[in-house]
Amino acid sequence: MRRKPIYLKAGDTVGLICPAGIINEERIAKATANMKSLGLEVKFGDHIMEQSGYLAGTDANRIADIHRMYRDPSVQAIWCIRCLLYTSRCV
């Protein structure tokens, strides 16, 4: 049976992660402002500001953020703030 995704509504929580390249505080602030303007709450990945070479943290830490958001019942959606070729190393 095919399940349809839920529609987000004001007050829902979006998990913000960075499974690929490095981001800065300005991009995080912009993404947060965009979500807040839609009435959404934001939960940040534990490793969102990490840096390991040209990536946003080690593979293990980026995977940990993905798993944490999927397991968290308060998170209705996951937003990958920067998703590139190297995201495939996490799945």
Q: Tokens in use for 52?
A: 């390991």
**CA distances (Å), origin 68, targets 15, 33, 34, 51:** 9, 23, 22, 19
Give the C-alpha separation, 41 to 45, whole Å: 13
pLDDT at 82 over 80: no
pLDDT band, very low/low/confident/very high, at 23 (cuts 50, 70, 90): confident
Mean per-residue pLDDT of the chain: 85
* pTM of the shown model: 0.80
Is a pLDDT exceeding 70 seen at residue 30? yes
Residues 11, 41: Cα–Cα separation, whole Å: 6
**In the predicted model, what is the mean pLDDT of residues 77-87?**
73
